[in-house]
A and B are shown apart, each in its own frame.
Chain A
């Protein structure tokens, strides 16, 4: 969807056109779900529902192009993730459920895997687990949400220069991590939930 098409679709969606709303949804939902799965694997679908509900309620007030819309949606998603984490932190116990381990391949499965044949989800898990939170988030928003540096800065509430520098550091950090050992050793460690080490 280009900006010209997006303008018409947005106008129609604001007027309540369900087909236009579907187009907006289909444009962003796959990326949104992937972002949420990286951030909160167990709550991704619930959080996606909350995000789209917030989008629907704020759609009439939105004014901008496709990149702006994308940034707005991911800003909402980021806030929802932060809210969820705050809530989870307040709970006394938050054990990792068995489904998390069941859905993941065991260590033997990774022996033959090379970095070139990783699935997207595993690659993103690797990024999220290997890097500090800010660096992982910058890369995730740049890769998954397809946002440029300026929009990532808007979403994260930092300057463009901060995003640029953080992105460089993330790449160098990731290179260092990957250089330490075979990929499978890194991937063996992925049963540790992302959430356990974030924020």
Chain B
């Protein structure tokens, strides 16, 4: 037995409420009345609480929408500009101070020059001539005893080997990274921060653990051997190293590892120049140490 259906236009017209009353079949008059009633507009009573719902919805839409035309790197770039400006100001002030000291026959030209060199080096835009020129003014000091495995044909490495400040800085830099590596829970040697340790250990033909143990032992031996005059500087460097390591570790833990890989050099250079440049003017070793250590630690936890 086949089912008898209404014509589609009548059924749809009834349901849509568009069928004229005259066209409604007699058997469907009551149905048409009910459907017409159902088409009546919504009353105020039915819409109680609508304002609150609408406010919640629009707020949620605003929150859920993507930040228009803002890329991940833009805020970092913008944040970096003031740092660069601060770094340039710091360099200018230091240069002016150096010049003033030199003109007045001051005795701290060596350390001031190295300070200038530190800042310029970390800025990442220096030429080799600047480094060499500065290094010639500081060769009177004793060469660094700590292990440096950089090749002699590297001009910068040669300069660093003959520069006590540079050597100490390198020492503390490696010490910081080794401390971070040794203390870190996640020892990921793929992390760019630790790749330097891997390179150094490979060059020495030992494991990174052994290499770091050696660096840490050497550093502590240096600290023990140094006198009261040195305590200030090295102690400050160590403190900075560990303190900044903790700070940086927590700061960098939330950041993207890839962002760090791209921006490490310039960011830390800027940070050093602007943040530490003036604060640690009296301690030549402190600038890069803390950041090197902290950076390594942070990445270690990330990895």
Residues of A bordering B, CB below 8 Å: 13-16, 18, 21-22, 25-26, 29-31, 33-34, 37, 45, 48-49, 52-53, 55-57, 59-60, 114-124, 126-127, 139, 142-144, 149, 164-165, 167-169, 171-172, 174-175, 178-179, 183
Contacts and interface: CB of A to CB of B under 8 A. Distances in A.
B133 interface: no
Contact of B57 (A30, A52, A149): A52
Given A13-B61, A15-B68, A167-B15, A33 B46 contact: yes
A55 B61 CA distance: 9
Contact of A116 (B33, B59, B60): B33
Chain A interface, >50% SS class:
helix
27 contacts: A16-B62, A16-B68, A25-B53, A25-B58, A30-B47, A37-B46, A45-B48, A48-B53, A49-B53, A56-B57, A57-B60, A59-B61, A60-B66, A118-B33, A118-B37, A120-B38, A120-B39, A121-B46, A123-B35, A139-B15, A143-B39, A144-B38, A165-B5, A171-B6, A171-B28, A174-B31, A179-B27
A41 to B, nearest CB: 11
A34 B5 contact: no
Contacts of A168: 3, 5-6, 11
A144 B42 CA distance: 10
Nearest to B25: A175
Q: Which 3 A-B pairs have CB atoms at the shortest separation, nearest pair first?
A: A16-B65, A56-B60, A123-B37
Given A118-B34, A120-B37, 9 more contacts: A14-B65, A15-B68, A18-B62, A29-B54, A34-B46, A118-B37, A143-B35, A144-B38, A168-B6
B196 interface: no
A79 to B, nearest CB: 18
Interface residues of B, number: 43
Interface string B137-178: 000000000000000000000000000000000000000000
A165 B5 CA distance: 8
B8 interface: yes
B94 interface: no
A57 B64 contact: yes
Contacts of A114: 33
B73 interface: no
Interface string B212-244: 000000000000000000000000000000000
A59 B64 contact: yes
Interface of B: 3, 5-6, 8, 11-12, 14-17, 27-28, 30-31, 33-43, 46-50, 53-54, 56-62, 64-66, 68
A56 B64 contact: yes
Given A52-B53, A123-B34, A142-B15, A60 B65 contact: yes
Contacts of A33: 42, 46-47, 50
A121 to B, nearest CB: 7
A37 B49 CA distance: 14
Nearest to A140: B38
Nearest to A103: B45
Contacts of A144: 38
Contacts of B43: 119-120
Contacts of A115: 30, 33-34, 37
A122 B57 contact: no
B31 A171 contact: yes
Nearest to B50: A29
A13 B47 CA distance: 22
A179 B34 CA distance: 13
Contacts of B35: 123, 139, 143
Nearest to A52: B57
A55 B35 CA distance: 29
A22 B37 contact: no
A57 B56 CA distance: 12
B37 A122 contact: yes
A27 B37 CA distance: 21
B56 A49 contact: yes
B70 to A, nearest CB: 12
